[in-house]
Amino acid sequence: MIQISNLTKSYGKQVLYSDVTLSIGPREKVGFVGRNGSGKSTLFRLILGEEQPDSGIIGIPKGYKIGTLEQHIKFTQKTVLEEVATALSEDEIYDHWKAEKILFGLGFTEPDMEKQPESFSGGYQIRMNLAKLLVQNPHMLLLDEPTNYLDIVSLRWLKGWLRAFQGEVIVITHDRGFMDEVTTHTMGVVRRQLRKLKGDTITFFETLDHEDEIHEKSRVNQEKRIKEIEEFVARNMARASTAGRAQSRLKLLDKMERIEKLDHDAMLAFRFNHVKCPGRVVMEACDLSFSYNGNPDNALFKDLTFAVGAQDRIAIIGKNGKGKSTLLNLLAGELKPLTGGMSTHPSIKIGHFGQTNIQRLDLECNILEELSSANPSLNNQRLRSLAGAMMFPGDAVEKCIKVLSGGERSRVLLGKILANPTNLLLLDEPTNHLDMESIEELTEQLDEYEGAVIIVTHSEMILRDIATKLIVFNGENAQLFLGNYDDFLEKIGWDDEPKAKKKEDKEKRVDVPDVIPAGQKSQKKRERSFA
């Protein structure tokens, strides 16, 4: 365990921590939440001794090893085994069998040991970094955004591995679903203090909200009491018969410890601007295939057919590099299919949040100018209101795009989508770089949106919250799945995972197949509703 006592840390006038006392107990797995810039990564650096506190002590037992998972993956050796062996201690530098044992446990085969590290997927590269941690036999893991760059299959593997880890863990992630599935406690930065509570993020935030509510009621009651005393003093101070009582009330006021109004972080506060589409279907794709080099043999997907209803929630899921973003860009009209085609309702209005769209923000423009470029007809008041909803109040709209963080640029792009009415949203990992609270608000607004949504995401929480249909990149092609994410896991599952045992008494499937392989037409004539 580690013990933090009376810790204070600041940068100039910005105080991150003030007189913090906290402990991490044996086998506790702690999810660390908080706004970007609140000091989460700073605490990691303090624990590792990479930075020093202004005051206070971080007590770490003698011989207690702390391992960290680097966010940026880089390899220096020619083979997987050699790369992992670099983490062995000087006394064990030739004990490659220890590295082999751990790699086998993480799913690597004997032939894999001699392959180049760069030849593996992002998920398996993360496993290599984990193997480098484990050969050091750490007692605690500090994990800063370990889900970055991982696909959904790798995320599922990492969750299982962390749950089984026998030491202590502190994990920073904006993926609430991931955090809640692997942690025993939740910790957060609350007004320059660290609060740690047993339970998931829901329990944590509900507790804080309840405490804030009690605090505010006490503050309001105190203000009423102060007002009553001040009115009594004003009425009675000038009278000789009551001046003594008035004076005593003044002394009471002087001794009273005032309850201050709590400060709160800014929050996303918006609704997607929806325009109704009269048709029941807003888009249809028929026999879509795509290849970047025009060669059908290298197609990312083939013969994909599906329809998008006016209020559908379709998630595109699968491993990295399989074609998910490509498909979304194809639907947005930014790419041309190799074969097949698409048709859209005449009233279609698309809002596209693409990874390349963020890169297209004009770095020399300020926030207000960038929002205006999305809809020049909006007046200054409307633009400033839109910026405020994206957490850019007042003079913040004058910030240049080039100085913004990744999360801030994501909010600018969301604002550009909000600047116009839409009835179909195409969203490629819109939660990237957003903090947990912003992700919560975005998910809620997607759920309430009256139009259709097609989203690329690796978040199982978002999948479960909003997706009613799936386009799955699983294996060598893409398939349409008519059902939610849990239905998919139960009935199909991921290729890299053991198949779940089917219950013998499971109800028979309906006439329409759960999975429609690419290119296979439904036997029922598709009803067209374009009008």
Count CA atoms within 13 Å of residue 509 on its CB side: 13
Residue 112 lies in a domain: yes
Q: Is residue 422 part of a domain?
A: yes
Q: What is the pLDDT of residues 165-216, one digit of tens each?
A: 999 999 999 889 999 999 999 999 888 889 999 999 999 999 999 999 999 9
d(CA 145, CA 173): 5
Question: In terms of C-beta density within 10 A (0-12 exposed, 13-18 middle, 19 or more buried), how is residue 245 classed?
Answer: middle
Nearest to 391 by CA among 359, 447, 438, 448: 438
Whole-angstrom distance, CA of residue 28 vs CA of residue 148? 23
What is the chain's length? 531
Residue 381 lies in a domain: no
CA 241, CA 243: separation in Å to the nearest integer?
6
pLDDT score for 85: 93
Residue 117 and residue 184 in one domain: yes
Give the residue among 22, 65, 69 at the shortest CA–CA distance from 43. Answer: 22
449 or 130: which leads in pLDDT: 449
Taking CA atoms, 195 is separated from 33, 96, 141, 370, in Å, by 10, 42, 19, 38
pLDDT at 102: 87
Structure-token pair, residue 325: 């973003």
Q: Look at residue 504 and tell me whether its pLDDT is greater than 80.
A: no
Q: Is 521 inside any structural domain?
A: no
For range 421-428, the mean pLDDT: 96
> Are 133 and 156 in the same domain?
yes
Ramachandran region, residue 356 (left: φ > 0; alpha: ψ -120 to 50; beta: rest):
alpha
Specify whether 19 is located in the same domain as 168: yes
* Residues 284-330 pLDDT 10s: 999 999 999 888 988 999 999 999 999 999 999 998 888 999 999 99
Residue 529 lies in a domain: no
One domain, residues 162 and 299: no
Q: Is the dihedral of CA 111, 117, 122, 124 positive or negative?
A: positive
CA distance 186 to 71: 21
Tokens of 132: 């480098």
Claim to verify: residue 196 and residue 223 sit in the same structural domain: no
Same domain assignment for residues 250 and 217: yes
SS (HEC) of 361-410: CCCCCEHHHHHHHHCCCCCHHHHHHHHHHCCCCHHHHHCEHHHCCHHHHH
Q: What is the DSSP string of 60-108?
A: --TT--EEEE-SS----SSSHHHHHHTTS-GGGTT-HHHHHHHHHHTT-
Residues 247 and 276 sit within 8 Å (Cβ to Cβ): no
* Mean pLDDT on 134-141: 90
Pick the more confident residue, 494 or 345. 345
**pLDDT tens digits, residue range 378-401?**
999 999 999 999 989 899 999 999
Rounded CA-CA distance 152/158 in Å is 10
Same domain, yes or no, for 332 and 199?
Answer: no
Cα gap 168→138, rounded to integer Å: 9
Domain assignment of residue 396, yes or no: no
Q: Coil, helix or strand for 464? A: helix
Q: Do 87 and 189 belong together in one domain? A: yes
On whether residue 155 sits in a domain, the answer given is yes
Domain that holds residue 247: 204-255
Distances (CA, A) of 232 to 220, 226, 242, 310: 19, 10, 10, 64
CA distances from residue 31 to 14, 34, 278 in whole angstroms, order as listed: 24, 10, 45
Would you put residue 108 in left (φ > 0), alpha (ψ -120 to 50) or beta? beta
Q: Given a cut of 60, is residue 502 above it in pLDDT?
A: no
What residues contact 508, with CB distance under 8 A and at least 6 apart?
none
Under 8 Å between Cβ of 374 and 249: no
Regarding whether 210 and 196 lie in a shared domain, the answer is no
Question: How many Å apart are CA 80 and CA 126, to the nearest integer?
Answer: 12
Residues 197 and 220 in one domain: no
- Shared-domain flag, residues 110 and 34: yes
**Helical segments of 114-242, H only:** 122-134, 152-164, 176-182, 201-236
- pLDDT at position 513 is 33
Q: Which DSSP category does 429 fall into?
A: S
Residue type, 447: D
What angle is formed at CA 126 by the lines to CA 163 and CA 60, rounded to 5 degrees?
A: 60
Do 192 and 318 belong to one domain?
Answer: no
Non-local (6+) Cβ contacts of 147 within 8 A are 155, 158, 173, 175, 178, 458
Average pLDDT over residues 477-500: 85
- Looking at the structure of the chain, the number of domains it has is 3
Side-chain half-sphere exposure of 239, counting CA atoms within 13 A: 9
Report whether pLDDT(113) > 50. yes
Q: How far apart are the first and last CA of the chain?
A: 66
User: Over the Cα atoms of the chain, what is R_g?
Assistant: 28
Condensed to tens digits (0 to 9), the pLDDT of residues 430-469 reads: 988 788 888 889 999 999 999 999 999 999 999 999 999 9
Where residue 91 sits, what CATH number does that domain have? 3.40.50.300
Segment 217-235, tens digit of pLDDT: 999 999 999 999 999 989 8
Tell me, yes or no, whether 525 lies in a domain. no
